[in-house]
Amino acid sequence: SEPVLKVENLKKYFPIKRGLVDVLKGKPERHVKAVDGLTFEIGKQEVFALVGESGCGKSTTGKLVMKLLEPTDGKIYLEGKDVTELKSKEEVREYRRRVQMIFQDPFSSMNPRFRIYDVLEEPLLIHGIGETRAEREELIYKALEMVKIIPPEDYVGRFPHMLSGGQRQRVAIARALILNPTFIVADEPVSMLDVSIRAEVLELMKDLKEKMGVTYLYITHDLSTARYFADYIAVMYLGRIVEMGPAHVVIDNPIHPYTRALLAAVPEPIPERREIIKELPIKGEVPNAANVPAGCRFHPRCIYMEKGLCDTKHPQLIEYEHNHWVECWLAGKI
Ligand code: SF4
Ligand code: MG
């Protein structure tokens, strides 16, 4: 069947401001290549995780999908329709209904002076859903029940600060779902929550995926939650996907040295993988995206780096085995 979301060779470059001296000296304009050629597909009711350290381009990708940013190049299709071509106010508004976002910090995405009722009514009013107040109230109560904020009548009068972090995030999920979206971009939705309630919130999102038929792009730095929540995992490094495949394949048989290093950093290592993991210290930090290393971008940090190859030629993402993609010259040899 047709994928719900299809991304083709997506790029987002941000110009770096040049100083007057640079301009006078005729120094060429430089760019931060935040997203530099991403291609992936997400099937109906799948969870696709984009995993990587901060600064790798995950959130920029999320914003491009949300149409909060316009790509430098490449295409995004939602159910076959080219998103970059949506121009009229009406088309963009309908897209904004169908594609919802859940943020890391629900507090900063909610007006602190709005009661929970108003937080949930606002999107309905913006999109003209529910003609009467009674209709909207019914939708609001239903949405709260779905995310287990029960009984809703005990909560609708409260302000966001009167809820726990987990409850607030569940209200944010209700606010996204109340518009009956096709697709949800969830950017680090549980990383600010207590470890003890992360699983609960992800479990709820999983459950709602079945009930509501939504598809997720799950953005996270945390492979352990991706393993639990996602069907597919794409590991990003400096604007590129370096490994991608079904979650269990990427976790159980990581090929790219960066994926292996990320797995090594998971606090509770996965027992079967300890063998591979212990040999993999990661060197240094993510370089600045303005100074992407030549050749393989990961080469300055890679313990397998082969001089004359890895530091000069850029590897391509290839299908290493069925449905398992890797961007490394030494895939399968290390
Ligand atoms: Fe390491 Fe070379 Fe593979 Fe890059 S291409 S990840 S430097 S082995
Ligand atoms: Mg981010």
Q: Tell me what the mean pLDDT of segment 268-297 comes to.
A: 65
Q: What is the pLDDT of residue 240?
A: 96
Minimal-distance CA residue to ligand 1 atom 7: 299
Ligand nearest to the backbone CA of 307: 1
Q: Is residue 212 part of a domain?
A: yes
Ligand nearest to the backbone CA of 57: 2
120/136 Cα distance (integer angstroms): 9
Range of the domain at 216: 5-326
What interface predicted TM-score (ipTM) does this complex get?
0.95
Q: What is the pLDDT of residue 104?
A: 87
Q: Is residue 222 part of a domain?
A: yes
pLDDT exceeds cutoff 90 at 16: no
Sheet (strand 5-15) strand order: 31-42, 5-15, 73-78, 81-82
Q: Is residue 187 part of a domain?
A: yes
Q: Is residue 333 part of a domain?
A: no
pLDDT exceeds cutoff 50 at 330: yes
Q: Ligand 1 pocket, 282 CB below 6 A?
A: no
Point out the least confidently predicted range of 2-16, 28-42, 50-64, 263-277: 263-277
Q: Is residue 331 part of a domain?
A: no
Strand partners of residue 75: 8
Indicate the helix (H) or strand (E) that contains 278.
helix 274-278
Minimal-distance CA residue to ligand 1 atom 6: 328
Mutate to test the pocket of ligand 1, among 256, 304, 316 (most ligand atoms within 8 A of CB): 304
In the chain, % of residues over pLDDT 70: 94
Point out the least confidently predicted range of 29-33, 72-76, 84-88: 29-33
Q: Is residue 308 part of a domain?
A: yes
Q: Ligand 1 pocket, 228 CB below 6 A?
A: no
CATH number of the domain encompassing residue 299:
3.40.50.300
Q: What is the pLDDT of residue 276?
A: 44
Structural domains in the chain (count) = 1
Q: Is residue 130 part of a domain?
A: yes
CB 49 within 8 A of CB 188: no
Beta strand spans in 249-297 (E): none
pLDDT exceeds cutoff 90 at 319: yes
Q: Tell me what the mean pLDDT of segment 199-223 comes to.
A: 93
Q: Is residue 334 part of a domain?
A: no
Q: What is the pTM of this model?
A: 0.92
Strand partners of residue 36: 11
Mutate to test the pocket of ligand 1, among 241, 259, 305, 307 (most ligand atoms within 8 A of CB): 305
Ligand nearest to the backbone CA of 302: 1
Q: Ligand 1 pocket, 296 CB below 6 A?
A: yes
Report the separation in Å between the CA atom of 183 and the middle of ligand 1, taken as the mean of its atom positions: 34
Helix 116-127 / helix 165-177 crossing angle, nearest 10 deg: 20
Token output for 310: 């890895």
Ligand nearest to the backbone CA of 58: 2
pLDDT exceeds cutoff 80 at 265: no
| Residues with Cβ within 8 Å of residue 266, at least 6 apart in sequence | 222, 223, 224
Report the separation in Å between the CA atom of 334 and the middle of ligand 2, taken as the mean of its atom positions: 30
Index of the ligand 1 atom closest to the CA of residue 298: 4
Q: Tell me what the mean pLDDT of segment 314-321 comes to.
A: 96
Q: Give the count of beta carbons closer than 10 Å to the beta carbon of residue 267.
A: 7
